[in-house]
């Protein structure tokens, strides 16, 4: 005497995104906070010191936000024109920014007025940065030149004029040359929509560039790995990685965006690379395999992107002036999500004695495990077929888990009692059934079962068609959808035929496997079983 | 059984036991079932077959206890004889020829009165033979034994056929007939199917085809009879039975639910659902404690001591051997694979393949397991289940099971729904043990063969490896029939009608094609070990071909109508079964030479379709050439009537005989933990005291003579009377416990020798004594034995010590 075997609910392989560790990590952020800025957000820079404020450069202002405040804690407004590239010094005390009016300004983070103004460029300055010894400033401008300034004296130390077009991004090596310590190497690049697509590496001790790399597109952003052996450049739709230790050999070229890539960023542990693009996506790459492991979608084209230390938050600036902030969830918060089932108050009653462990001499009387059956199984066990179908057609099951409803219909069909279960329904019951059919009949997973049920419904109720307008309307809708589906399948078959010809001509002439592939493809897709074709 | 030199064909169980209703002995310890040409005696406590009662030459059609002596049983057979057995010992006491084939026997359990009914079909008459000049003939009786019953104390006999119920009163010599209309208003059928009568009341219960049970009362009057109707069963009631006190009525049918109705309170009923298969017979033990139901799938179930026997019903999978447990795997139970131990002739466990509630309703198409395959190591099991409904597409499922070390059973790993568009014709695993990947190839009627591979998932988060399709192959849109891997797994041979294609599983290239027209390939086998370069195939056109794969040429071929070809996994040998003129011949050969190693004419009648080589637990070391092929594994095969046969050598048989003698004694005793502890110890003792047979004769029935022994053991030694006094008391107590009358007779047996002979002629044996090996010695007490008993008196010290040892 065996116990009742519950109805088997078929588990279908989940299509789409696979849950990996990366998706878990990158999805573990709270709902985004949107802040409206005055214009397109061109640059975001995090302060390297403790509260990790960040400077947001948008239009003629630079706002400084605290880690949790949604209001700027500080703002610098003394720009005559559009400000560019507000950057913190490594001690977080000073901030440098370029401007459309060619003047580079240096601010004290606590002050309001510029401490120093560096004049010398003739056109807009898009690139500013502090050197690693924090006594000098590097700037790059639309006048094709790169200049090095002494901070206290506000004097120009050096100028590099090798580029032949606008310089839009640059990056400084930190401590490549410990011996000289006065200068560091820096890379700069210049671009003007499709003129000079080069990256040049300058040595601070020499006046000339030591390396020239051709990106092929106007370069929008540059990034150095912390090890300073690899250089990442973004331009056009491409993100390219160069090995500097092998004289700038291109390592890999990534083409995952379909519009210009505007900004690059490394995760705090250096294992993931993020790229933002005008196509409104931020992609996360694994830096060992250079495969996309995660993807964020945003509402507008992305111009700037920054990650807080320890990836505490992701800040994205967009062309429509919106600053998008995402904070990481706390450990407690993320735990709450995983253990979603709330414990009911009665839990404490049932748990009584559960944590008592039998001692050595105790005689254990095991309680028989009670079999818990789902509602529909309880009805099926009693052979109440109509009631079983009713419970399976309850709104929640029908909408959220149609596979359960289909499994019950299949089980009834197997028992030969599907007709009994379908018959004898009133208008409401029938329209509920038809509604379910309209929703799920065209799902290839459910079609074989539901087609039988649909035929039976038509057989049973054909005598009463015309008595209820609701049912008639649903039947007409079903018919219409069926016709559409037939057309669709026919088109699919045509496409398959075309593909077969393509495959047959492209593959080398190997008689047996060829025919097998084409045939199995045809049959598979025709029936919508995609799961197991590994050919 | 055909004698052939040294090797014999031996029957190894697996015959039908559900044809007639079983009988439970009066002490509820033994169960008698008619099975083919013999009667099987089972122990109700250990569920094992104790022995067979052999002697009939035709199908046994009925078994019943002798009412006057509950230790004897009658059996009747289609060969026209009725035999009387002492079923505890399996001794034939007497037999009588009836002359015509008996279809069934019935008896009335009534003291001094004993009736035997023999239904004879060809004349469609009924002969009632009665021991004491009471006889009657009922004509027009149904051949179904369930449709005849004796009423209260043998006063009347009830028989039902079609729509008529006939009651015949012996005293009045009168019969009454009651008939029902053919159909009632709703078109249900009223045909009688079974009859039972109440043991104390004048009440007859009848079962009907529409699932109704009618209780007839007051049927001694032609007109004023009444009946009440009970209805629960939705289809035919196939068996009815009253409990001995008449308080309950049991009924069963296709639904496989045992229903218990309270007599006189019929609205109260109890159910025992899901008994496994349709109930064909219900029997209650005389003390009412045990119910025995016998089912259509050839199993018996004892409720309150549950057990299922192996079923060898309609098999559709091949016979297989599980490499791990060395058990034979069958699909006797619907939706299950049964693991059946060949050594112990016992069902080990059922593996639920379909995992669906089985609906017991006739005419319903259910999922059935049609194919199964094991890997060489036994780690993986593949099973195919299919369900074909009328005018609906075929539902196919391929399931792959992994052996779980922790739970020691198979766990479902992957389910592939609709692996092919049509029926799967063959399936095999890659046999090589050293290769990294496990591969399964299935061939189907849709013209493709598919290779399935165990793949570890790309994402580490997934739960373990699963199976996916690796390759789909076809050859000129022919239908593949069989497939096989070479011993090292480097080659795959797939037969497409008359063409054999050889593929390389690593690159899926078609290496070569072999063909030997005309005739489609029926079986295909690669040679093993030293013959691994040979591929042997049989065609439908009486040809056995052997190809050498190094030269890709035909090595040899013979003309031979082979129905089945199979290779021994442990040696180079192959076995071919060839049907010839109603019989089947067996040839055993090695692929490298076209000369048979061993041949056996007429192994059995009919065709052999299923056979398997089962590896032996221990190797034999026979050096004779003709029996060498049995050294590594044993060949089992199924005959058309589903009997499992095997081949044994003489030496092996002798060894088994010795072992089985030991077994018979042990079998009848329930396996308690106590027994397990002491069994070994006792075995040693028995060897030591082999000279003291008389002692062991007393030791075995110890539990029965409990009163005296308790007294002996519980009294402190220093207050015990002398041992010589105790011994006589002990021997007496043993004898008293059996029958009071007999012990009195024994007391006075010195005076009356004549009475002693009377006891012998009655041949009533106490069950306790009969069960021990030396039963014959103690059962018939002669003077010599009395002397021996006295000698025992003198040996009592040794006996006492052995009791204390226990």
| Structure confidence by residue, pLDDT tens digits, B266-300 | 788 888 887 777 888 888 888 777 788 887 776 66
> Considering chain A, what is the average pLDDT of its residues?
82
pLDDT digits (tens, 9 = 90+) for A41-57: 999 999 988 888 999 99
pLDDT at B312: 44
More confident: A377 or B665 = A377
Separation of alpha carbons B695 and B789, rounded Å = 10
Residue B686 pLDDT: 54
* B668: pLDDT strictly greater than 50: no
Q: What pLDDT band is residue B751 in, cutting at 50, 70 and 90? A: very low
pLDDT at A9: 86
How confident is residue A306, by pLDDT bands cut at 50, 70 and 90?
very high
Range list of H helices, B668-752:
673-688, 693-699, 706-714, 723-736, 740-747
User: Hey, is the C-beta of B468 within 8 angstroms of any chain A C-beta?
Assistant: yes
Give how far B469 is from chain A: nearest CA, Å: 5
Task: Look at residue A212 and tell me whether its pLDDT is greater than 80.
Answer: yes
Strands B291-295 and B279-284: antiparallel
Nearest to B610 by CA among B383, B299, B377, B330: B330
Check CB contact under 8 Å for B306 and A1: yes
User: Quick one: pLDDT band at residue B313, thresholds 50, 70, 90?
Assistant: very low
pLDDT at res. A229 = 81
Q: Characterise B280 by phi-psi region: left (phi > 0), alpha (psi -120 to 50), beta (else).
A: alpha
Asked if pLDDT for residue B113 goes beyond 60, the answer is no
Residues of B in contact with A1 (CB under 8 A): 272-276, 301, 306
Positive/negative CA dihedral, A213, A217, A220, A224: negative
Q: Which residues contact A279 (CB under 8 A, 6 or more apart)?
A: A257, A258, A259, A301
Check CB contact of B359 with chain A, cutoff 8 Å. Answer: yes
Provide CB contacts within 8 A for A352, sequence distance 6+: none
Q: Do residue A512 and residue B276 have CB atoms under 8 angstroms apart?
A: no
Residue B474 to residue A5, Cβ atoms within 8 A: no
DSSP label of B742? H
CB–CB of A108/A123 below 8 Å?
A: no
What pLDDT was estimated at residue B435? Answer: 58
What integer pLDDT is reported at residue B185 of this predicted model?
60
Q: For the range B154-158, what are the long-range contacts, defined as Cβ-Cβ under 8 Å and sequence gap of 24 or more?
A: B154/B108, B154/B109, B154/B110, B154/B113, B154/B115, B156/B197, B157/B108, B157/B117, B157/B128, B158/B195, B158/B197, B158/B204
**Cβ contact B355–A8 (<8 Å):** yes
Split at pLDDT 50, 70, 90, the class of B441 is very high
Q: Does residue A148 register a pLDDT over 70?
A: yes
pLDDT at B754: 44
Provide the pLDDT confidence category of residue B677 given band limits of 50, 70 and 90.
low
- When CB atoms are compared, the residue of B276, B393, B459 closest to A448 is B393
Note the pLDDT of residue B11.
67
Share of chain B above pLDDT 90, in %: 2
Q: How far is A178 from chain B (nearest CA, A)?
A: 43
Q: A18-22, A372-376, B148-152, B157-161: which range is least confident on average?
A: B148-152
| Residue B448 vs residue B752, higher pLDDT | B448
Higher pLDDT, A61 or B162: A61
Which of A8-12, A321-325, B184-188, B224-228 comes out lowest in average pLDDT? B184-188
Query: Whole-angstrom Cα distance, residue B110 to residue B88?
Result: 22
Position with higher pLDDT, B764 vs B463:
B463
Query: What is the predicted pLDDT for the residue at A337?
Result: 52
pLDDT of res. A228: 78
CA B485 to CA B376: how far, in whole Å? Answer: 12
Q: Do the Cβ atoms of B564 and B638 come closer than 8 Å? A: no
B258 — phi, psi (to 5°)? -90, 120
Q: How many residues does chain B have?
A: 806
- The span from the CA of B249 to the CA of A412, in Å, is 33
Which pLDDT score is estimated for A515? 38
Answer whether residue A275 shows pLDDT above 90: yes
Does the CB of B391 have a partner CB in chain A at under 8 Å? no
Asked if B419 and A8 come within 8 Å (Cβ–Cβ), the reply is: no
Hey, are the CB atoms on B276 and A2 less than 8 Å from each other?
A: yes
Residues on chain A touching B392 (C-beta within 8 angstroms) = 452
- Over 60: is that where the pLDDT of B308 sits? no
**Among A244-258, A485-499, B696-710, which range has the highest average pLDDT?**
A485-499
B354 vs B401: CA distance, rounded Å: 12
| Average pLDDT, integer, range B182-186 | 64
* Smallest Cα distance from B392 to chain A, Å: 9
Going by pLDDT thresholds of 50, 70 and 90, the confidence category of residue B188 is low
Q: Is B393 helix (H, G, I), strand (E, B) or coil?
A: coil
Nearest to B474 among A416, A516, A529 (CB): A516
Cβ-nearest to B416 among A3, A517, A532: A532
Nearest chain B residue to A380, by CA: B357
Q: Do B461 and A19 touch (CB under 8 A)?
A: yes
Q: Which of B274, B364, B459 sits opposite A416 (nearest CB)?
A: B364
Nearest CA in chain B to A514: B473
Length of chain A: 535
Q: Could you tell me whether strands A302-307 and A33-36 are parallel, antiparallel, or unpaired per DSSP bridges? A: unpaired
Q: Could you tell me if B410 and B381 are in contact, meaning their C-beta atoms sit under 8 angstroms apart?
A: yes
Task: Judge whether residue B800 has pLDDT over 90.
Answer: no
Of the two residues A437 and B140, the one the predictor is more confident about is A437
Residue B478 scores a pLDDT above 80: yes
- Write the CA distances from B715 to B708, B709, B711, B720, B802, integer angstroms: 11, 10, 6, 7, 17
Give burial (CB, 10 Å; 0-12/13-18/19+) of B366: middle
Lowest mean pLDDT among B75-84, B90-99, B763-772: B763-772
pLDDT digits (tens, 9 = 90+) for B642-667: 677 788 777 777 776 666 555 444 44
What is the pLDDT at residue B138? 54
Encode pLDDT of A402-439 as tens digits.
Answer: 999 999 999 998 888 899 999 988 999 999 999 999 99
Top mean pLDDT of A289-298, B119-128, B555-564 is at A289-298
- Residue A261's pLDDT band, with cuts at 50, 70 and 90, is very high
B357 interface with A at CB cutoff 8 Å:
yes
Q: Report the C-alpha gap between B193 and B309 in whole angstroms.
A: 26
pLDDT at position B616 over 60: yes
Residues 6+ apart with CB under 8 A from B285: B24, B28, B291, B292
The mean pLDDT value for B87-111 works out to 60
Contacts of B366 in chain A (CB under 8 A): 414
Comparing alpha-carbon positions, the chain B residue that sits nearest to A11 is B415
Q: pLDDT band at B794, cuts 50/70/90?
A: low
How far is the CA of B674 from the CAs of A445, B247, B333, in angstroms? Answer: 58, 38, 34
pLDDT at B106 over 80: no
Task: Confirm if B509 and B467 have CB atoms less than 8 A apart.
Answer: no
Q: Which two tokens stand for residue A336?
A: 């709450």
**Whole-number pLDDT of residue B1:** 38
Across all residues in chain B, what is the average pLDDT? 73
pLDDT of residue A481: 92
Mean pLDDT of the B776-781 span: 46
Which domains, and CATH codes, for chain A? Answer: 22-329 (2.130.10.10), 375-491 (1.25.40)
**Would you say residue A90 has pLDDT above 60?**
yes
Mean of the pLDDT values across residues A248-257?
Answer: 89
Helix B796-805 / helix B723-736 crossing angle, nearest 10 deg: 70
Query: Is the pLDDT at B31 greater than 50, yes or no?
Result: yes
pLDDT at residue B697 above 70? no
Confidence grade of residue A96 (pLDDT, cut at 50, 70, 90): very high
Of the ranges A357-366, B138-147, B503-512, which one carries the lowest mean pLDDT score?
A: B138-147
Query: What is the predicted pLDDT for the residue at A178?
Result: 35
Q: How far apart are CA A327 and CA A32, in angstroms?
A: 7
What is the least distance, in Å, from the CA of B361 to any CA of chain A?
9
Closest among B324, B279, B287 to B304, alpha carbons compared: B287
A316, pLDDT greater than 90: yes
For residue A247, pLDDT over 60 is answered with yes
Model confidence at A25, in pLDDT bands (50, 70, 90)? Answer: confident
- pLDDT over 70 percentage in chain A: 85
Looking at chain B, which residue has its C-alpha nearest residue A520? B472
- B393 and chain A in contact, CB less than 8 A: yes
> Quick one: closest CA in A to B301, which residue?
A1
């Amino acid at each position: 005497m065996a116990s009742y075997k519950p109805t088997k609910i078929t588990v279908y392989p989940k299509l789409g995104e696979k849950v990996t560790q990366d998706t878990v990590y990158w999805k573990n952020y709270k709902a985004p906070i949107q802040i409206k800025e005055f214009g397109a957000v061109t640059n975001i820079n995090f302060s390297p010191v403790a509260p990790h404020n960040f400077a947001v450069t948008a239009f003629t202002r630079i706002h400084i936000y605290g880690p949790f405040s949604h209001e700027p804690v500080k703002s610098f407004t003394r720009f005559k024109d559009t400000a560019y590239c507000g950057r913190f010094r490594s001690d977080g005390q000073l901030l440098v920014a370029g401007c459309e009016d060619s003047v580079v300004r240096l601010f004290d983070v606590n002050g309001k007025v510029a401490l120093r103004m560096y004049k010398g460029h003739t056109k807009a300055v898009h690139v500013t940065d502090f050197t690693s010894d924090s006594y000098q400033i590097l700037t790059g401008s639309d006048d094709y030149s790169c200049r090095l300034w002494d901070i206290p004296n506000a004097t120009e130390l050096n100028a590099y004029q090798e580029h032949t077009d606008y310089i839009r991004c640059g990056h400084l090596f930190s401590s490549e040359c410990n011996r000289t310590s006065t200068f560091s190497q820096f890379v700069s690049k210049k671009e003007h929509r499709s003129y000079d697509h080069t990256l040049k590496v300058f040595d601070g001790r020499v006046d000339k560039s030591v390396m020239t790399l051709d990106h092929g597109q106007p370069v929008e952003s540059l990034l150095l790995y912390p090890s300073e052996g690899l250089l990442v450049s973004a331009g056009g739709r491409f993100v390219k990685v160069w090995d500097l230790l092998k004289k700038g050999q291109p390592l890999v070229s990534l083409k995952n965006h379909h519009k210009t890539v505007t900004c690059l960023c490394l995760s705090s542990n250096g294992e993931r690379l993020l790229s933002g693009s005008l196509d409104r996506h931020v992609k996360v790459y694994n830096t060992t395999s250079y495969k996309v492991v995660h993807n964020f979608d945003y509402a507008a084209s992305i111009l700037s992107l920054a990650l807080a230390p320890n990836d505490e938050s992701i800040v994205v600036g967009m062309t429509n002036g919106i600053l998008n902030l995402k904070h990481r969830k706390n450990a407690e918060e993320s735990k709450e999500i995983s253990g979603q089932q709330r414990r009911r108050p009665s839990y404490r009653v049932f748990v009584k004695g559960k944590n008592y462990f039998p001692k050595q001499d105790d005689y254990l009387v095991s309680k028989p495990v009670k079999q818990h059956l789902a509602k529909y199984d309880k009805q099926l066990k009693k052979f109440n077929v109509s009631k079983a179908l009713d419970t399976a057609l309850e709104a929640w099951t029908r909408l959220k888990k149609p596979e359960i409803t289909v499994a019950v219909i299949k089980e009834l069909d197997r028992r030969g009692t599907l007709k009994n279960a379908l018959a004898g329904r009133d208008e409401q019951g029938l329209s509920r059934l038809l509604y379910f059919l309209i929703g799920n009949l065209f799902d290839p997973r459910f079609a074989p079962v539901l087609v039988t049920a649909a035929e039976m419904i038509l057989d049973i109720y054909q005598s009463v068609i015309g008595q209820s307008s609701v049912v008639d309307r649903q039947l007409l809708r079903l018919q219409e959808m069926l016709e559409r589906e037939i057309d669709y399948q026919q088109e699919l078959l045509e496409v398959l035929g075309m593909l077969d010809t393509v495959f047959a001509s492209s593959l080398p002439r190997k008689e047996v496997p060829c025919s097998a592939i084409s045939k199995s493809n045809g049959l598979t897709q025709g029936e919508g079983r995609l799961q197991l074709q590994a050919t | 059984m055909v004698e052939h030199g040294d090797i014999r064909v031996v029957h190894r169980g697996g015959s039908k036991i559900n044809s007639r209703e079983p009988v439970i002995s009066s002490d509820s310890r033994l169960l008698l079932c008619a099975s083919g040409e013999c009667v099987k005696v089972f122990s109700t406590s250990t569920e094992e077959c104790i022995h067979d009662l052999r002697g009939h030459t035709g199908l046994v059609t009925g078994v019943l206890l002798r009412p006057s002596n509950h230790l004897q049983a009658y059996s009747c057979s289609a060969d026209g004889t009725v035999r009387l057995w002492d079923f505890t010992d399996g001794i034939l006491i007497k037999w009588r020829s009836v002359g015509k084939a008996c279809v069934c026997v019935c008896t009335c359990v009534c003291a001094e009165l004993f009736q035997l009914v023999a239904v004879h079909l060809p004349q469609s008459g009924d002969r009632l033979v009665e021991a004491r000049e009471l006889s009657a003939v009922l004509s027009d009786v149904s051949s179904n034994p369930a449709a005849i019953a004796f009423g209260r104390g043998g006063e009347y006999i009830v028989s039902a056929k079609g729509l008529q119920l006939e009651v015949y009163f012996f005293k009045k010599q009168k019969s009454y007939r009651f008939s029902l209309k053919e159909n009632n208003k709703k078109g249900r059928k009223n045909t009688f199917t079974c009859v039972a009568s109440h043991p104390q009341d004048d009440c007859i219960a009848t079962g009907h085809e529409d699932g109704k049970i009618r209780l007839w009362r007051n049927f001694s009057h032609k007109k004023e009879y009444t009946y009440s109707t009970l209805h629960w069963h939705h289809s035919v009631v196939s068996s009815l039975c009253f409990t001995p006190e008449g308080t309950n009525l049991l009924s069963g049918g296709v639904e496989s639910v045992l229903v218990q109705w309270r007599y006189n309170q019929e609205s109260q009923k109890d159910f025992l659902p899901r008994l496994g298969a349709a109930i064909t017979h219900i029997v209650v033990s005389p003390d009412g404690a045990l119910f025995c139901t016998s089912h259509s799938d050839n199993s018996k179930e004892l409720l309150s001591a549950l057990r299922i026997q192996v079923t060898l019903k309609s098999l559709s999978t091949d016979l297989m051997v599980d490499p791990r447990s060395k058990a034979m795997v069958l699909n006797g139970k619907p939706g299950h694979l049964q693991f059946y131990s060949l050594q112990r002739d016992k069902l080990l466990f059922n593996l639920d393949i379909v995992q669906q509630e089985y609906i017991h309703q006739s005419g319903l198409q259910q999922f059935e397991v049609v194919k199964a395959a094991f890997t060489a190591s036994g780690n993986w099991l593949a099973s195919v289940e299919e369900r074909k409904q009328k005018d609906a597409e075929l539902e196919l499922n391929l399931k792959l099971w992994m052996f779980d070390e922790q739970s020691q059973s198979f766990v479902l790993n992957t389910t592939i729904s609709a692996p092919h568009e049509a029926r799967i014709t063959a399936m095999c695993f890659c046999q090589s043990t050293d290769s990294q990947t496990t591969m399964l190839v299935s061939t189907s009627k849709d013209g493709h063969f598919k290779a399935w591979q165990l793949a570890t998932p790309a994402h580490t988060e997934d739960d373990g490896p699963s199976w996916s399709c690796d390759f789909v192959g076809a050859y000129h849109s022919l239908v593949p029939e069989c497939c096989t891997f070479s011993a090292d797994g480097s080659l795959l041979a797939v037969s497409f009608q008359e063409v054999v294609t050889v593929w390389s599983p690593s690159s899926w290239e078609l290496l070569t094609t072999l063909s030997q027209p005309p005739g489609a390939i029926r079986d295909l086998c690669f040679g093993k070990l030293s013959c691994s370069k040979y591929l042997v195939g049989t065609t439908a056109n009486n040809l056995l071909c052997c190809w050498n794969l190094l030269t890709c040429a035909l090595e040899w071929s013979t003309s031979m109508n082979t129905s089945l070809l199979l290779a021994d996994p442990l040696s180079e040998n192959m076995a071919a079964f060839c049907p010839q003129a109603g019989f089947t011949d067996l040839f055993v050969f090695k692929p490298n030479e076209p000369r048979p190693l061993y041949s056996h004419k007429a192994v059995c009648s009919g065709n052999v379709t299923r056979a398997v080589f089962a590896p032996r637990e221990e190797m034999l070391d026979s050096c004779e050439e003709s029996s060498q092929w049995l050294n590594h594994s044993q060949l089992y095969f199924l005959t058309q009537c589903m009997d499992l046969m095997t081949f044994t050598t003489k030496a092996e048989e002798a060894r088994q005989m010795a072992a089985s003698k030991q077994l018979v004694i042990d079998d009848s005793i329930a396996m308690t933990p106590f027994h397990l502890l002491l069994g070994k110890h006792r075995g040693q003792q028995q060897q030591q005291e082999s000279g003291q047979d008389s002692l062991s004769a007393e030791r075995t029935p110890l539990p029965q003579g409990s009163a005296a022994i308790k007294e002996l053991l519980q009294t402190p030694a220093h207050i015990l009377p002398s041992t010589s006094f105790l011994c006589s008391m002990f021997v007496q107590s043993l004898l008293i416990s059996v029958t009071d009358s007999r012990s009195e007779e024994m007391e006075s047996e010195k005076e009356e020798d004549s009475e002693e002979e009377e006891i012998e002629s009655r041949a009533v044996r106490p069950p306790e004594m009969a069960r021990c090996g030396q039963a014959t010695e103690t059962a018939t007490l002669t003077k010599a034995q009395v002397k021996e008993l006295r000698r025992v008196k003198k040996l009592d010290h040794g006996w006492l010590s052995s009791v204390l040892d226990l």
